[in-house]
Amino acid sequence: MSERYARENELVSAESNLYDKAMDVAIALSIVTFVVGMITFADAVPLGATGTELVNFFAALLGVVVGGTGIVAVFSYANVIPITSQRVRGVAMGLLVSAVGLTLAAFVLPVSLATMLGLVMLLEAGLLVAAGVVSRLGLVDTAPSMTAGLLAGVVFGIIGALVGAVIVGSLPGLDAAVPGVPVWLLGAIVLGVGFGALAIVPREDLGSTLPAALIIGLLGVTIATAVIGVGWQWTPENLSGGFTGGSVIPVFVLFGSLLASWSAAKCRADFGARGRQYGAFFVINLNAFLMVAIMAAIVVFVTVKGVGWAFHDFSIGALSLLVVLTPILVLTAQHARAPAGTDEWHSAARQFFRVVPLAAVGSLAALLLGIIVTGTTFEIPYQYAILVDRSTVMLDTAFRVTPSLTVGNLLIIVSGAILFTYFLRRYGSLRNVGTEYERLSLVRQGVPAAVGLLGLLSLVYVVIGPVLDNIGIGPVLGLGVATLGAVVVAAFALVPLGALVTGEGTLAERAHESAQLLNVGLFSGIALLMAVIVLEWTAVSNPQLGPVAPVPVVALVAAVSSLCIAALVARARRSTDDTLRRRVLGDEVTLALAAATGYVTLVGLHVAATSESTFALGPVEVGINGSLSWPTVLQGAIPLGQAPGGIYPAIIGTIWIVIGASLFAVPLGLGAAVFLTEYAEQGRFTELVEIATNALWSTPSIVFGLFGAAFLIPRLGNSLSLLAAQLTLSFMLLPLVLITSREAIKSVPDEYRDASAALGVDRWTTIRSVVIPAAMPGVVTGVILGVGRIAGETAPLILVLGSEIDATTAVDVLGGFAFTTTPPFITNEALLGSSAALPTQVWGIITAGVSGSPSKGWATAFMLLVVVLSFYAVGITARTYFRRKINYE
């Protein structure tokens, strides 16, 4: 390498000179203007703001910038997150300089925000011109190419043409310069060619700054001189609406700053390849930022409008919240355990950040405990407006957390089941560890038999329960067997604890020795109690022996005993150094925790199974109805009622529609995809199917709705019906599931199929056990996308389901099934009847005009958003699960 070459392109250019610093400021300035442009676009700050209002705005902006860069700077200084890149440091400095400068300017200059923005754009244009000229004159070390490139030329040409058309077209008195040719066209051609040439012909440093500066300057001048001011208005003749300064200026600012950031970034990175890269980086990122901001704005907008009604009179017991918090606690603990962070992080800081979520959950739990202990209700009062008889009425309501100790059984079951599966999955194996007692093998065989017998007995109750009741044996038998079962379970839960606390040797040794006892005892206990609860359910018996109900009491005792085991073993584990023993004891702790959560889940299941009872233990109560009160979501509309009614029927309707449509479409789509990909001869036929599915996917939804209304409804009882809605939407979902499943199945490597075939496994088994599991993430992705589309689908639902807005009762699909003696033998009134649904309710409220309540519409839309996002969450969890399963971590 020649010396000269090495000198001109330094490998590391850590020092930034004045030029670099100026360019950093230019970049930062364009970022700030971009953000301000977005803020004004959202109308958060008026463009006409002057004086104190303007100063306050920029002061707030300065505060945000100082806070943001400040915390990063502090962390960088403390070497927690070292920021070493000169560019990042420069942009941060630039942000500070820009914010300070703008605040000062707002303080000094007596102008409006719009004018300020115009002036800033002029300043940016000036900086760009200066940078280009300085570079062209060779005053700084840059590496520009011969030209800015054809692409830049074409883009600037198009922009120039637009500008030319607008300017020349709007200038008066130029109408007939050349007869027959519209004058704006001439302007467009001249400026278009001019700008294009300006970008292409000069060297890159001029070519990518001058035209940009010209455009930015032009926009700046227009705004600053109030040619297009705040009060400006333009109403084209053939448009009913018009453009106002309020909407045009932010667009100019956004566009100008985007262009400025591109050009300035190119200058900063010395043009050439690096310059192009840096420029593209800014344009792409600001653009992405804009998109995200727009989407977030939509969500925030709907939330702000709808959240008032949606959370009217919301209240929940502190204990219930604690139950919700436990899985989150475990999750955050898991997060804190995970090794994380890059090496540059100081380990103390790393640990700190890992435990922050855990600490947050802990403090929340402490708050909730505080509520319970002190017995005071935590309350956030707020107001919102509704329309009553065309006049606005403010409603006072509040968000409450009460010290109630009642927990709904559903909550217990869900939280418990999550934790149970979590611990069970983490539990490895205790095979061949510890003493194998003679009697244990007896238990190992006896318990499945007992469970089987209990299951059989349950079946007997299902089939001839009334007969048993009639001869008087039913209740007694059920009660007796259930009580007996509960007693045995108590023994299962307590014996391992006994073995742990008594006997010889240290605690760790005893824990190691009694591994099998633990293993068998805990698993058997849960299995047996589960069977007992199933029996309770079918025998409709709730064993009450005086004041004590054995099943839930035993479950609680077993849960506590398992927790004790977990605690004891965990303590023993701390005191051992032997790796093998540590592993065994660790597994025992996980198992005991799984058992504890399992037993708690069973308490909830017991309450659900014996539906008439709540189970109370002191002040704590587990009931069918928990302490959650959420009228909007859990109640129907109140006819003529004063308080705002709920939208429960619509939520349930939408959930059933989505579930029904998925139940139809997913198996069909997946099946068809398997057939088309794995079995059908690839050729004309499959191509045709592919074209047809693609066409079906792009078919407008209203066409599906018409099909449903004209074809399905006459065949399904001739009335608007939930079933018709489910079928119609499943037809919409089908093509997407088919297309994505096909792609997913196609992308499963042929090697898997070969390997399976070489083992002598037939095709169908291979598909079922290798191909489909490997394709599952792709399939789920398709379902997620499809469900997102159909959950909010309105047009077809209006046609096949109607648009009820004040439903008082929700459809009861599960309870609606009835058996008949005549074909079709099974009917479901609920499926064949109409139902409310969220999207149709929004539509109904809009079209109801003044009689509808807009805030109810917003609340409905908000809940629709929540429901769709919940479906997404479920789908994404499922996809992550399947991905984890096929990818190694």
Which residues here bind another protein, judged by CB under 8 A?
Answer: 428, 431, 445, 448, 452, 749, 751-752, 754-762, 765, 769-770, 773-774, 885-889
Buried b (16+ CB within 10 A) or exposed e, 741-752: bbbbbeebeeee
**Which is nearer to another protein, 341 or 773 (by Cβ)?**
773
Q: Which residue has the tokens 């600001």?
A: 286
Nearest to 872 by CA among 552, 738, 601, 864: 864
Helix/strand/coil (H, E, C) string of 311-327? CCCCEEEHHHHHHHHHH
**Which is nearer to another protein, 359 or 886 (by Cβ)?**
886
* Whole-Å CA distances, 390 to 718, 841, 843, 857: 37, 20, 19, 15
- The least CB distance from residue 13 to another protein, in Å, is 41
- The least CB distance from residue 759 to another protein, in Å, is 4
**Which is nearer to another protein, 456 or 691 (by Cβ)?**
456
Cα–Cα distance measured from residue 512 to residue 434, given in angstroms and rounded to the nearest whole number: 6
**Which is nearer to another protein, 397 or 756 (by Cβ)?**
756
Residue 382's H or E segment, with its range, is strand 378-388
- The least CB distance from residue 162 to another protein, in Å, is 53
- The least CB distance from residue 756 to another protein, in Å, is 8
- The least CB distance from residue 746 to another protein, in Å, is 16
**Which is nearer to another protein, 522 or 800 (by Cβ)?**
522
- The least CB distance from residue 385 to another protein, in Å, is 56
Helix/strand/coil (H, E, C) string of 227-257? CCCCCCEECCCCCCCCEEHHHHHHHHHHHHH
Cα–Cα distance measured from residue 696 to residue 735, given in angstroms and rounded to the nearest whole number: 6
Cα–Cα distance measured from residue 239 to residue 481, given in angstroms and rounded to the nearest whole number: 80
**Which is nearer to another protein, 274 or 425 (by Cβ)?**
425
- The least CB distance from residue 299 to another protein, in Å, is 36
How far is Cα of residue 212 from the mean position of the Cα atoms in its chain?
39
- The least CB distance from residue 888 to another protein, in Å, is 3
**Which is nearer to another protein, 22 or 771 (by Cβ)?**
771
* Whole-Å CA distances, 455 to 372, 398, 442, 464, 498: 41, 48, 20, 14, 30
**Which is nearer to another protein, 718 or 887 (by Cβ)?**
887
Residue 692 backbone phi and psi in degrees, to 5: -65, -40
**Which is nearer to another protein, 448 or 700 (by Cβ)?**
448
- The least CB distance from residue 460 to another protein, in Å, is 18
- The least CB distance from residue 448 to another protein, in Å, is 6
**Which is nearer to another protein, 390 or 431 (by Cβ)?**
431
Q: Is 393 helix (H, G, I), strand (E, B) or coil?
A: strand
Q: Which residues have CB under 8 Å from 697's CB, separation 6+?
A: 735, 736, 739
Nearest to 793 by CA among 657, 606, 629, 679: 657
Ramachandran area for residue 436 (φ above 0: left; ψ -120 to 50: alpha; else beta): beta
How far is Cα of residue 624 from the mean position of the Cα atoms in its chain?
29
Residue 175 CB burial class (10 angstroms; 0-12, 13-18, ≥19): exposed
- The least CB distance from residue 540 to another protein, in Å, is 25
Name residue 560's amino acid.
Answer: V
**Which is nearer to another protein, 15 or 762 (by Cβ)?**
762
Strand partners, 244: 233
